[in-house]
Amino acid sequence: MPVTDDVRTVAGVFYQAFVTFPYHAYMTPRSGSNLSSKPRDTNMHTASAEPGHLARGGGAPSRPNNHAKDTDEASAKDRVPSPPLRDETFSDQVLAMCTSAETVSSLLAQEPGLAPKEAWKRLCVSEGAARGQPSTSTVPEGSGGTLPADSLDRAAMCGRWGSQRPSDLFLKMYHDALVSIDGHPERGMVSPSLMGSSGVLPLTIISTIPDIVRHMANLIVAANREVFLATNFWQNSVASKVITDALKELSRRVGERGSGEKVVVKIMYDRGSIRQLVDPHAVVSEKDYAGGAVGLPAAAEVPNLELEVMNYHSPILGTFHSKFMIVDRRAAVLQSNNIQDNDNLEMLVHLEGPVVDAVYDMALLSWSKALSPPLPTRDSPAASEDAPCFRAGPETMSEPAAPPTPPSGEADAGGPVYDATIDAEARRVQALLTPSPSNPSKTHLDAVTRHLNHTTNPDFRPEPRQAAASTTAVAAPEDDMTPLLAHAPHDPFPMALVCRPPHGPPDNSSDSNPQNAAWLAALRYATESVFIQSPTLNAEPLLPAIVEACERGVDVTCFICLGYNDIGELLPKQGGHNEMIAHRLHTALSPTGRERLHYHWYVGRDCAAPLTQSRRLRSCHIKLLVADGRVAVVGSGNQDTQSWMHSQEVNALLDLPPHVARDWAEGLRRNQNTHLYGALDPVDGVWRDKDGNEADEATGVDPGRFSWGKGIVAALKRVKGTGGF
């Protein structure tokens, strides 16, 4: 009965809060458990003294060699053997679900009033999903640890890749993601037959939130039928005003069309509410979402939009951490940022093509309840058309060569500027970083400082001892910061969604899902390098995987943010803060293994030293993993316990075309100084400046046993929507 279920839910929450949580708080050690090291100093591929770039070595990104071979053609001496593989593949039932024509989206197209959660139940019943059991496929002795060809072929059958078969590394990672949903398809947060797909990637943004929300605004004002926007934390801010102004502009444009049809807008976020104890998917009233804390437009302000807002959280720890937007079921963006003002460097990928149908399906499952009104594109899948961004060829993507005049101030995010094309948008942003008579910045580095300061730190300049010198930090135009990377036109390439559902109880048992499987597979199957950038890194399954990869001879580079959310990461069962983990990893490795671990604290583009995140001046919130320079996982998931075990996340697994991989390597190098100034001591994993001093205001390797108490305060602030982590 519903009342009985509600009582059980509330009782479970109280048990978690007042029994499980305090117990683990008491048991939390000062510096975490030890990692086992497996020294293997013989017959190992030797690390070079100078770390390579993202596409070839595990070290920091550097300028790529244009004459080098693509990574697929790298010589055998640059590779190391793969380890023994898991001895199971996915069942025939998973294969059947992945090749089925039926999806949650197709069921809602037939019956628009159906709740997505009910459509999911029908889908699973019709496919008999719960009956699937993993089948074994023993790795032949002497095979070098490679997956049997039939396993890769089975994985290749479970996607709609277009004209390209995915690379073997992509298929290995995708295969393990499929194994994780065997018998539990709900772990994928998407209809299985849409999980593997294809698409194009016309734009990547590696920049601050104003640049990202401005791109979102460009997409919103151009919408014809619908907008679905989801984020973790929505705060009334300059960033949110860019979005709300775009919604008002969209309403105005729809009114001018005179068709009488309204554009449907769905917005999801996670702000703590007592209602979520009994209804995690709480539809928000206009009074609440138009109030001062959120600041969305009231219905009277957007008369030509049908706006519906949902507040979603699965108590206690099941945060809705996904961050994405879909417009007209033709374009989707996955991003790292929330809708708020802060100092973070963030990342966005703009996707088009059939993969948008997968993101759309995931959005429906996230909403869960019947949509009122339904989405207009329910019977118009993205796969039915070519990707709009490249449809007419590159010439229509270009504007006149002369760059636009930049706005007079760096708070340009608040200006009513809507770009017609991606190329025009990229040039407008780059003009902000180019000294000119109309730009008040005297040098490129001055412009970088103004751009990174934007709305939160308008007067900040790095102290002399922490500032990057323009003579070394910006030596040539090819080193200039380039926030928007507009990629050359390309054919659709293989992509997959690797997500995870929310898990509320604080027991860290929800570790099997496509997201985690893909990350672990990257470290397991990479033969050259793994690059990780994340604000935090402490997930318990990840740490031994990093150690094993380094001991095997794979270069592992980690760009992590010093002090990011320390008080939150010190909560019971959250894994520990970044400094603790860096020290554990370095001390767990053999001397040879340490040569393969390249650990850095994030350093802003205008700085020469890391600044702790608590100072709110130069932080990084990018969530990215790249294996062997060519297969990437990018989206909302951090490399911390919360994202690995509890939060709902959305990520894309991408089999990057060579030119996009090169663009990313260049963008990551040009838009931060992490590789220049952020390296930790390879022996103890501690950052020190040239005088031997540790970073100002750093917590240190040992935070103390009861430091988690501060995390409790931060958690309460977060639940109230006033800050925290």
pLDDT, tens digit (0-9, with 9 covering 90-100), for 132-188: 444 444 333 333 346 667 899 999 999 999 999 999 999 999 999 999 999 999 999
Spatial distance between the Cα atoms of 622 and 533, rounded to a whole number of angstroms = 6
Q: Per the structure block, which two tokens stand in for 306?
A: 């049908």
Would you say residue 8 has pLDDT above 60?
no
Nearest to 357 by CA among 203, 234, 196: 196
**pLDDT above 70: percentage of residues in the chain:** 77
- Write down the residue that tokens 């055998």 correspond to: 76
Spatial distance between the Cα atoms of 254 and 447, rounded to a whole number of angstroms = 37
Provide the whole-model pTM.
0.88
Would you say residue 38 has pLDDT above 70?
no
- CB-based contact 296:287 (threshold 8 Å): no
**pLDDT tens digits along 98-119:** 999 999 999 999 999 999 999 9
Phi-psi group of 697: left, alpha or beta (phi > 0 → left; psi -120 to 50 → alpha; rest → beta): left
Return the SS3 of 669: helix
Q: Is the dihedral of CA 136, 140, 144, 146 positive or negative?
A: negative
- Write down the residue that tokens 């591929």 correspond to: 45
Q: Per the structure block, which two tokens stand in for 375?
A: 């989405």
Q: Per the structure block, which two tokens stand in for 705?
A: 């046993």
* Residue 466 binned pLDDT confidence (cut-offs 50, 70, 90): confident
Describe the crossing of helices 355-367 and 116-127 by its angle, rounded to 10 degrees. 110
* Residue 32 binned pLDDT confidence (cut-offs 50, 70, 90): very low
Q: Tell me the average pLDDT across 703-722.
A: 56
pLDDT recorded at residue 288: 96
Nearest to 541 by CA among 588, 565, 575, 570: 575
Q: Per the structure block, which two tokens stand in for 12?
A: 């479970």
How many Cα atoms occupy the beta-carbon half-sphere of 330 within 13 Å?
18
**pLDDT tens digits along 376-398:** 999 999 998 888 888 654 333 33
Q: Tell me the average pLDDT across 184-206.
A: 98
- CB-based contact 602:343 (threshold 8 Å): no
**pLDDT tens digits along 543-576:** 999 999 999 999 999 999 999 988 877 777 678 8
- Write down the residue that tokens 């583009």 correspond to: 605
Q: Per the structure block, which two tokens stand in for 385?
A: 């058309």
Query: What are the domain boundaries of the chain?
Result: 2-31
* Residues linked to residue 205 through DSSP beta bridges, in sequence order: 348, 484
Residue spans of beta strands (DSSP E) within 571-616: 597-601
pLDDT recorded at residue 387: 87
**pLDDT tens digits along 331-354:** 999 999 999 999 999 999 999 999
